């Protein structure tokens, strides 16, 4: 079975977490999706690139989540979420996923 790249897991967590929170009107449920995907991506990052890289990428994931809120006030909610998800995915690919 093919492994899902950590970049896709992380981006899906950010996008899916927001989508679930918005559509269900239950922020806690969206937060759970965000947390589970973040933990799964962090585990892959650690396996592929080591602890320091995993720590940095996990921090980027959290900063992206937090940063999407003020960014949404300027560009809208969905563009902000897609933007930060893309940035995290790109960082994940550059640091961990392209290594294989």
The string of pLDDT tens digits covering residues 11-49 is 999 999 999 999 999 999 999 999 999 999 999 999 999
CA distance 49 to 36: 20
The string of pLDDT tens digits covering residues 40-97 is 999 999 999 999 999 999 999 999 999 999 999 999 999 999 999 999 999 999 999 9
Long-range residue pairs from 48-53, CB within 8 A, at least 24 positions apart, any chain? 48/6, 48/96, 48/97, 48/99, 48/100, 49/95, 49/96, 49/99, 53/95, 53/96
CA distance 74 to 96: 31
Q: pTM higher than 0.75, yes or no? A: yes
């Amino acid at each position: 079975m093919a492994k899902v790249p950590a970049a896709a897991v992380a981006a899906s967590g950010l996008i899916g977490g927001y989508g679930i929170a918005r559509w269900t009107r239950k922020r806690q449920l969206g937060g759970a999706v965000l947390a589970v995907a973040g933990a799964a991506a962090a585990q892959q990052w650690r396996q592929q690139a080591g602890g320091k890289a995993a720590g940095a990428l996990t921090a980027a994931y959290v900063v992206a989540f937090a940063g999407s809120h003020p960014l949404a006030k300027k560009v809208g909610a969905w563009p902000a979420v897609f933007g930060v998800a893309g940035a995290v995915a790109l960082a994940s690919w550059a640091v961990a996923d392209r290594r294989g």
